[in-house]
Amino acid sequence: MNYNKNMLPYLSATTTSIIFGLSFLFSKRALNVASPFSLLSFRFLTAFVIMTLLVTFKVIKVNYKNKPVKNLFFLALMEPVIYFIFETYGIKYSSSSFAGIMIALIPIIVTILASYFLKEKFSSLQLFFIILSVSGVAYIAFMNSTNSGSTGIIGIVLLIITVMAAAVFNIMSRKLSSSFTPMEITYFMMGTAALFFNIFSLGEHMIYGTFSSYLLPFKSKDFIISIFYLGILSSVIAFFLVNFTLSKIEASKSAVFANLSTIVSIAAGVIILHEEFKYYHIIGSIMILIGVWGTSRFSFKDEIVAKEIEGV
């Protein structure tokens, strides 16, 4: 019983990675008929409406009374709002290989910040496996886009902000888990993201004078399917699982599981989109899997015990 309970956060983190990994496929299809802000606005609006209905019919419970809600606003501002905006434009102004490498740095930044702000202790073995997993993602990204072009200073700055936003989100979610339930955190995130991205989307339509085409993407069957996947699975369920995982295990451990999304996205591309599968995908995937396994397997306490045994 205790074993199953202890494994639940790791199962949650793995499920999240699978959902996020497949989200690239659905986002790619949706972006064929809609702009990034249009996609994000409908994605998070769908998520917020679904969660509001669940709250209204008391399927889920949220209670923000006498709780530090302003901290939740800052959390939601970091991710999804700032993260998605700067990631989108960071990728636009940089090579895809550099973007992939930068995003892969998130677990390392989270580990460093967690050791300082959350006083989380990580072993040298954990650090090795985190770096191994990150290196697997970076290797795939680099090999996959060696001729994708150069990266300017704008792209570098935007991606640095993206990485820091994701890292701060992980730290804050872990810290706020003592004051809010995972559902309360997720609901507030969806509401904030729906508000911001719909303002951005409407502003975009106002600038270009395209209000008449606001609902045009819904003529596409692929867009509707993508919105339901991204709005329900990839937003409500996945972010709930992220917040649940961070309420149960260290931020440094949780963050490294995100690298599994790379493997899932590659598999989806090969199986569904019939993309090429190269040797470096295998090498990088093995590095990621070993890194994730090692990070979750070894802890600071394990290292202390090992040293005590050696001393004996």
Query: DSSP letter string over 233-262?
Result: IIIIIHHHHHHHHHHHS-HHHHHHGGGHHH
Can you tell me which residue has the tokens 């497949």? 22
Domains: count for the chain:
1
Give the pLDDT confidence score for residue 89 in this predicted structure: 85
**What is the C-alpha to C-alpha distance for residues 278 and 257, in angstroms, rounded to an integer?**
23
**What is the C-alpha to C-alpha distance for residues 62 and 185, in angstroms, rounded to an integer?**
9
Tens place of pLDDT per residue across the chain (312 aa): 455 667 899 999 999 999 999 998 899 889 989 999 999 999 999 999 999 999 999 999 999 999 999 999 999 999 999 999 998 888 778 766 677 778 888 998 998 899 889 988 878 888 899 999 999 998 888 887 664 555 578 888 899 999 999 999 999 999 999 999 999 999 999 999 999 999 999 999 999 999 889 999 999 999 999 999 999 999 999 999 999 999 999 998 899 998 999 899 888 888 887 878 888 899 999 999 999 988 877 764 554 444 444 444
- Let me know if residue 150 belongs to a domain: yes
Rounded alpha-carbon distances, angstroms, from residue 148 to 58, 94, 261: 50, 9, 22
- Give the side-chain half-sphere CA count within 13 A for 166: 27
Give the pLDDT confidence score for residue 62 in this predicted structure: 97
Give the pLDDT confidence score for residue 96 in this predicted structure: 61
- Let me know if residue 7 belongs to a domain: no
- Let me know if residue 208 belongs to a domain: yes
Measured between its terminal Cα atoms, the distance across the chain in Å is: 33
- Let me know if residue 280 belongs to a domain: yes
- Let me know if residue 228 belongs to a domain: yes
pTM, to two decimals: 0.87
Give the pLDDT confidence score for residue 143 in this predicted structure: 83
- Let me know if residue 95 belongs to a domain: yes
Its domain, for residue 307, covers 21-311
CA–CA–CA angle 18, 39, 198 (5° rounding):
125
- Let me know if residue 198 belongs to a domain: yes
Three-class secondary structure of residue 177 per DSSP: coil
- Let me know if residue 14 belongs to a domain: no
